[in-house]
Amino acid sequence: MAELPKRFQMEEEGKHLVISWRWFSWTDLLGFVFLFMQFGAFPLYCYGQTFVHEPSMVLEWSWLQIIFTLLHLALVFWMVYWMLLANLLNTTRIQVSGSQLLIRHGPIPTLKNHTLARREISQLYGQNPPGKGTKFWLMAKTRSNGTVQLLTGLDKEQVLYLEKTLENRLDIKNRHMGDEEDGIVSK
């Protein structure tokens, strides 16, 4: 079996194999600080100064200024909630048995949780989507010929490890995908 990628932890829990990792990285934290300084801190300071020193001026804003302000505050809220809290606190946990693949992210809720029965999965593969550079996705091809994006933001080493380990555990025969190179599909 290939070497466990850094940041990954693997353990056996009864009949289940569990692979997990924390989302946190210093690079992501520094990126968040930069983005917040650009899009959050200065405008929030300006809004605060307007509300504190010139509250009557707010009543004179046009509907466009109000919508822009609300959209901007929603963006700042999303940045703090998702980019900071989720990246600081969340862990991805993959639980696999012979009959099921379960992927959960938490404790901050996301929309990327998956539960797939073994019989639904015909193939797992890594994908390098256009514009994502060195970040890869783990994809599942279903028996009904559909695709499911299981995980995103992985390094090549991580996606190849997960593909091989999960296919082995789920007893899925690895098949070459049409436009696969070095184990990764480019689309």
Residue 2 lies in a domain: no
Residue 99 lies in a domain: yes
Q: Are residues 82 and 123 in the same domain?
A: no
144-153 burial by CB neighbour count: b if 16+ within 10 A, else e? Answer: eeeebebbee
In angstroms, the CA 166 to CA 159 distance is: 10
- Give Cβ neighbours of residue 80 (< 8 Å, ≥ 6 apart): 36, 40
Query: Which residue range(s) make up the domain with 81?
Result: 27-88
Question: Considering the chain, what is the average pLDDT of its residues?
Answer: 84
The answer to whether 98 and 118 have CB atoms below 8 angstroms apart is yes
Q: Are residues 14 and 40 in the same domain?
A: no
pLDDT in tens, 1-50: 678 998 999 999 888 999 999 988 888 778 777 877 777 677 777 777 77
Q: Are residues 16 and 98 in the same domain?
A: yes
pLDDT in tens, 67-79: 877 887 787 777 7
Has this prediction a pTM greater than 0.85?
no
Burial label for 154, CB within 10 Å (0-12, 13-18, 19+), is buried
The total number of structural domains in the chain stands at: 2
